[in-house]
Structure 1
Amino acid sequence: MTVNLERIKRDILTLAEIGRNQADRGIYRMAFTDADMEGKRWLKEQIAAADLPCEVDGAANISAILEGHSDAPRLIVGSHIDTVPCAGALDGTLGVVVGLECLRCMHENGFQPQQTIELIAFSDEEGRFGGMFGSQSVCGLINPEKLATMKDLNGILLKDELERQGFDPLAALDAARDPESIAGYLELHIEQGPVLDSLGKSVGVVDEITGLFTWTVRLRGEANHAGTTPMEMRNDAFMGLADFAHEIPRILAENGSERSRATIGKAQILPGAANTVPGLVEFSLDCRDTSEETLEELSAAFRKALSAIARRRNLMFEFEQKSYIHPVQCSLPLVERLCHQARALGLDYQQMHSGAAHDAQIMGRMVPTGMIFVPSKGGQSHSPAEWTAWSDIEAGANLMLSTLRDFG
Structure 2
Amino acid sequence: MTGKTWDKKPDIDIDRLKTFLAGLNGFGANPLTGGFNRPGYSDADMAARAWFEARLKEAGLAVRRDGVANIFGRYGPAEGPAILVGSHIDTVPEGGGFDGALGVAVALECVKAMKDAGFEPSTAIEVVATAEEEGRFGGMLGSQAIAGRIDRAWFETAGDADGMSLQTALAAQGLSPEDAFNCRRSPDEVKAFLELHIEQGPVLEHKRIPIGLVDGISGVSNISVTLTGRANHSGTTPMDMRSDAFAGLAAFATRIPAIIGDHGTDQSRITIGKVELEPNFPHTIPGRAVFSVITRDTDEKIQHALLQAVKAEIDAAAHRHHLSSEIKEKSWLSPVALDPKLQDLLASEAQNLGLSHIRMPSGAGHDAQTMQSLCPSALIFIPSRAGISHAPEEHSEWADILAGARLMLSALVRLSSHG
Compute the TM-score of the two structures, normalised by the length of structure 1. Answer: 0.89
Larger mean CA deviation between 167-176 and 377-386 belongs to: 167-176
**Secondary structure at 2:251 match in 1:** helix
Match of 1:27 in 2: 36
Once the two structures are TM-superposed, the CA of residue 177 in structure 1 deviates from its matched residue by 0.9
Per the alignment, in what secondary structure is the counterpart of residue 373 of structure 2?
Answer: coil
CA contact (8 A) 1:220 1:316 kept: yes
Partners of 1:306 and 1:78 lie apart in 2 by 39
| Cα pair distance change 1:226/1:16, threshold 3 Å | closer
Alignment of 1:165-184 (within 5 A): 165-184=173-192
Offset, 1:176: 1.0
Counting matched residue pairs gives 407
User: 1:294 aligned to 2:302?
Assistant: yes
Matched, 1:331 2:339: yes
Q: Distance in 2 between matches of 1:339 and 1:324?
A: 31
The 1:273/1:107 distance shift into structure 2, 3 A limit, reads closer
Give RMSD over aligned pairs. 2.8
SS of alignment partner, residue 294 of structure 2: strand
Does the Cα contact within 8 Å between 1:213 and 1:288 map onto a contact in 2? yes
Say whether 1:59 aligns with 2:78: no
Whether the 8 Å CA contact 1:331–1:370 is kept in 2: the answer is: yes
Which residue pairs with 2:273 in the alignment?
A: 265
Q: Is 1:45 matched up with 2:54?
A: yes
Task: Give distance in 2, aligned partners of 1:306 and 1:284.
Answer: 12
- Alignment of 1:9 with 2:15, yes or no, is no
Match of residue 401 from structure 1: 409
Question: 2:91 corresponds to which residue?
Answer: 83
Q: Partners of 1:347 and 1:402 in 2: how far apart? A: 12
CA distance in 1, matches of 2:99, 2:32: 20
The superposition leaves residues 183-208 of structure 1 with CA deviations (integer Å, 9 ceiling, x where unpaired) of 22111111122222222221211111
Pair 1:96 & 2:99 matched: no
Shift of 1:96: 0.8
Question: Structure 1 residue 397: deviation in Å?
Answer: 0.4
TM-score between the two structures when normalised by the length of structure 2: 0.87
Tell me if the contact between 2:158 and 2:330 (Cα under 8 Å) persists in the aligned partners: no
Larger mean Cα displacement after TM superposition, 5-14 or 32-41 = 32-41
The amino acid across from 2:48 in the alignment is G
Q: Secondary structure at the match of 2:85?
A: strand
Structure 1 residue 364 and structure 2 residue 372: aligned? Answer: yes
Q: How far apart are the structure 2 equivalents of 1:34 and 1:223?
A: 38
Is residue 259 of structure 2 the alignment partner of residue 251 of structure 1?
yes
Task: Give the stretch that moved more between structures: 120-129 or 183-192.
Answer: 120-129
Q: Could you tell me the percent identity over the aligned residues?
A: 43
Unaligned 5+ runs, structure 2:
1-9
Structure 2 residue identity aligned to 1:208:
G
The whole-number CA distance in structure 2 between the counterparts of 1:152 and 1:53 is: 33
Are the counterparts in 1 of residues 68 and 145 from structure 2 also a CA contact under 8 Å?
yes
Give structure 1 stretches of 5+ with no counterpart: none
- Aligned-partner SS, 1:350: strand
Contact kept in structure 1, 2:65 and 2:71, CA below 8 Å? yes
CA contact (8 A) 1:69 1:112 kept: no
